[in-house]
């Protein structure tokens, strides 16, 4: 791309961000006028306002996350004395703008299609559940900002800074430690591979060298490490310091959860991986459609594998489908209606949808696989599994980070720009529908004076 076109694209990107903020501010204000408190905000907002006033010695035992969101609020809104519900929510909106810039930086790292990167960045910021929560005082948007900042710093080889953002991400939400682990492990694996000198030109761990690499590290670790340098050890220690701090927190707290632990008991819930695959399929459907014929061909060539996968999935669904009491009791969330009108209503539905799960995971794995670097796919699958299967409650917010990591890796070449346009239009339509439902549909709960609203 010529210098003139690059400058024009940068100007357009800035104008798009300004337009995004202007339109979002209008929506934000309308949401505030409609409802000043939704669901878990009743726990978050009082704490946020207290921290904003630099009163750090209050806590609500019903809050299960660390006070990262409140500390960010205190940092930006406290000095300005903007400690009201409106400005607490505004923190999320501002972070959603930062996220667009971070998305753009990452897409530019992975792809060279400038216009595709700009459109993808705006589209991801409009991901319906994520965009919805940019209007409320929840941890999700701020948490995403920290995770994206960590990844950007890591990609730019600013590993000290990446470790610091990783620590802040954990303070926003404890499960983010898994994604810090992904970034740390991938850095260490990539560097160790370079020390083995198996293939000088590679910047990752090639699939064909994986077993040779591990065998060499296990059999002759000192031989591999003798090629390391002091910077590698300093960078590694910065990540380990963040991870070690979290381990110390677990030891002191006795659990990953702070506050009310009753709703977050340790469990194994493997079907969460299936629900996540549906989330990916729904919100990235234009990128999945083109793989249908390829999947059919793959199925014909691997009938035994597909049969075995169907049997395994059937057994998992039969033996491990868990239903959290909150999901059946709280009719303020879309999951309540999806479950009761499909999964809970029709006994066979959860089995008939198994082929869709398999197709979705086929596309996810194919999109993330690279013969030049298998490390990301391997760690992504491990970390996504660790984050999701330990959650009993089905909650779309748990899917945000693994979905974003998946979506960032989808190729955005010229031929796929049309898919991004379809994705963009889909997000606009879904956002319009969900916002309209929020504005128009009320739910009466006797214990609340104000009517409740339907949210993700």
**Which residues are paired to 442 by β-bridges?**
453
Residues 231 and 276 in one domain: no
What confidence score (pLDDT) does residue 91 get? 98
Residues 278 and 313 in one domain: yes
pLDDT band of 201, cuts 50, 70, 90: low
Asked whether the beta carbons of 80 and 69 are under 8 A apart, the reply is no
134, part of any domain: no
**Which residues are paired to 443 by β-bridges?**
452
Sequence-separated (6 or more) residues with CB below 8 Å from residue 378:
none
Nearest to 142 by CA among 153, 130, 152, 151: 130
Among 234, 264, 294, identify where a domain stops. Answer: 264
Q: How many CA atoms lie within 13 A of 2 on its CB side?
A: 3
pLDDT band of 263, cuts 50, 70, 90: low
> 217-230 pLDDT, tens per residue?
898 888 888 888 99
Residue range of the domain that includes 194: 173-264
Which two tokens mark 49? 């306002």
219, part of any domain: yes
Which two tokens mark 225? 């490490």
19, part of any domain: no
Residues 274 and 314 in one domain: yes
DSSP at 442: E
Residues 294 and 274 in one domain: yes
What confidence score (pLDDT) does residue 434 get? 97
Q: Which of 196-200, 249-253, 360-364, 396-400 has the lowest mean pLDDT?
A: 196-200
Residues 272 and 408 in one domain: yes
111, part of any domain: no
> 174-195 pLDDT, tens per residue?
999 999 999 999 999 999 998 8
pLDDT band of 203, cuts 50, 70, 90: confident
Residues 287 and 364 in one domain: yes
**Which residues are paired to 455 by β-bridges?**
333
d(CA 98, CA 144): 10
What confidence score (pLDDT) does residue 400 get? 98
pLDDT band of 264, cuts 50, 70, 90: low
d(CA 381, CA 399): 13
DSSP at 176: G
37, part of any domain: no
Handedness of CA 110, 116, 122, 125 (dihedral sign): negative
pLDDT band of 414, cuts 50, 70, 90: low
Residues 274 and 317 in one domain: yes
> 35-74 pLDDT, tens per residue?
999 999 999 999 999 999 999 999 998 999 999 999 999 9
Per-residue pLDDT for 412 more than 70?
Answer: no
d(CA 120, CA 177): 26
Residues 310 and 359 in one domain: yes
Burial 178-187, CB ≥16 within 10 A → b, else e: bbbbbbbbbb
Sequence-separated (6 or more) residues with CB below 8 Å from residue 415:
none
234, part of any domain: yes
Percent of the chain with pLDDT over 90: 77
Per-residue pLDDT for 314 more than 60?
Answer: yes
Residues 336 and 258 in one domain: no
85, part of any domain: no
Highest average pLDDT, of 331-335, 390-394, 428-432, comes from 428-432
Domain count for the chain, please give it.
Answer: 2
**If DSSP states are collapsed to H, E and C, what string results for 357-400?**
HHHHHHHHHHHHCCCCCCHHHHHHHHHHHHHHCCCCCCCHHHHH
Residues 274 and 407 in one domain: yes
Nearest to 35 by CA among 435, 446, 447: 435
> 154-173 pLDDT, tens per residue?
999 999 999 999 999 999 99
Among 224, 243, 264, identify where a domain stops. Answer: 264
Residues 188 and 275 in one domain: no
132, part of any domain: no
Per-residue pLDDT for 92 more than 90?
Answer: yes
Residues 293 and 236 in one domain: no
d(CA 248, CA 233): 21
């Amino acid at each position: 791309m010529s210098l003139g076109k690059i400058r024009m694209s940068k100007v357009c990107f800035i104008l798009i961000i300004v337009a995004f903020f202007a339109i979002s501010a209008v929506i934000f204000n309308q949401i505030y006028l409609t409802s000043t408190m939704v669901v878990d905000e009743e726990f978050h907002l009082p704490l946020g306002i207290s921290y904003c006033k630099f009163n750090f010695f209050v806590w609500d035992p019903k809050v299960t996350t660390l006070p990262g969101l409140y500390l960010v609020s205190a940092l930006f809104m406290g000095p300005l004395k903007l400690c009201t519900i409106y400005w607490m929510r505004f923190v999320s909106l501002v972070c959603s703008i930062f996220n667009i810039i971070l998305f753009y930086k990452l897409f530019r790292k992975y792809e060279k299609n400038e216009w595709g990167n700009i459109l993808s960045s705006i589209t991801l910021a409009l991901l319906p559940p994520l965009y919805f929560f940019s209007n409320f005082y929840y941890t999700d948007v701020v948490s995403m900002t920290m995770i994206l900042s960590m990844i950007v710093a890591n990609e730019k080889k600013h590993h000290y800074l990446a470790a610091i953002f990783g620590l802040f991400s954990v303070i926003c939400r404890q499960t983010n430690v898994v994604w810090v682990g992904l970034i740390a492990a991938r850095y260490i694996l990539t560097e160790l591979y370079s020390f083995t000198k198996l293939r000088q030109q590679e910047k990752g761990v090639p699939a064909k060298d994986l077993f040779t690499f591990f065998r060499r590290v296990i059999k002759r670790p000192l031989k591999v490490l003798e090629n390391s340098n002091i910077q590698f050890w300093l960078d590694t220690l910065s990540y380990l310091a963040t991870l070690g701090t979290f381990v110390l927190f677990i030891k002191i707290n006795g659990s990953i959860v702070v506050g009310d632990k009753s709703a977050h008991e340790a469990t194994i819930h493997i079907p969460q991986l299936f629900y996540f695959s549906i989330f990916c399929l729904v919100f990235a459907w234009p990128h999945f459609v083109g793989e249908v014929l390829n999947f059919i061909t793959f199925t014909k060539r691997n009938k035994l594998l597909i049969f075995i996968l169907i049997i395994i999935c059937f057994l998992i669904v039969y033996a491990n489908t868990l239903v959290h009491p909150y999901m059946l009791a709280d009719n303020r969330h879309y999951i309540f209606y999806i479950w009761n009108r499909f999964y809970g209503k029709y006994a066979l539905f959860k089995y008939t949808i198994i082929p869709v799960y398999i197709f979705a995971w086929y596309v996810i794995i194919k999109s993330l696989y690279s013969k030049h670097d298998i490390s990301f796919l391997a760690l992504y699958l491990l970390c996504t599994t660790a984050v999701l299967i330990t959650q009993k409650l089905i909650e779309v917010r748990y899917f945000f980070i693994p979905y974003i990591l998946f979506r960032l890796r989808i190729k955005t070449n010229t031929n796929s720009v049309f898919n991004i346009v379809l994705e963009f239009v889909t997000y606009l339509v879904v956002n319009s529908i969900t916002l309209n439902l929020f504005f128009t549909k009320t739910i009466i709960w006797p214990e609340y004076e104000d009517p409740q609203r339907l949210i993700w």
